[in-house]
Copies of this chain bind each other. A is one copy, B any other.
């Protein structure tokens, strides 16, 4: 939970308000958001797909990050009134404007780190 009155929270707000880069990092940063956005950048996915696809993520984290992305207007959540439930996540139109930014980050990362087998596939799909 966040403590509105902390120096930390104050600093965060201030930086976000005075630096566009910090604002962007705030939206897409964190442990799991890149992994989520990377995937939703390519296609709509349902909750269980994301959960299976992103190795090591817990449901708590997955939901929390999706909610944040949703609240920030980057991702949208579509619920189908079925049982068992089906919920799909995709980029909003705002989220789509982020795509080139995400792609440039992804490309830079893939270019400048030691090549690891696991990335090969990802590196390709990002710019398919």
- Which A residues are within 8 Å of any B CB, using their own CB? 7-8, 10-12, 14-25, 28-35, 37-38, 55-57, 94, 97-98, 100-102, 104-113, 116, 118-119, 122-123, 126
Determine if A105 and B24 form an interchain contact, defined as CB atoms under 8 angstroms apart. yes
Q: Write out the residue numbers on chain B whose beta carbons fall within 8 Å of the beta carbon of A22.
A: 34-35, 38, 109
Contact, CB under 8 Å: A21 / B116: no
Choose one: B19, B23, B31, B100; the contact of A104 (CB below 8 Å): B100
Complex copy number for this chain = 2
Q: Contact check, A25 vs B28: say whether CB atoms are below 8 A apart.
A: yes
What CA separation (Å) do A33 and B25 show in the bound complex?
10
Compute how far the CA of A94 lies from the CA of B109 in the bound complex, rounded to whole angstroms. 12
Of A25, A97, A102, A106, most buried by chain B (CB within 10 Å of CB) is A25
Closest to A32 in B: B15
Top 3 nearest A-B pairs (CB, nearest first) are: A20-B109, A20-B110, A23-B109
What's the least CB distance linking A106 to chain B, in Å?
4
Residue of B nearest to A121 (CB): B18
Apart from A19-B35, A97-B108, list 11 A-B contacts with CB within 8 A: A18-B118, A18-B119, A20-B111, A20-B119, A22-B34, A22-B109, A23-B110, A25-B25, A25-B29, A98-B108, A100-B104
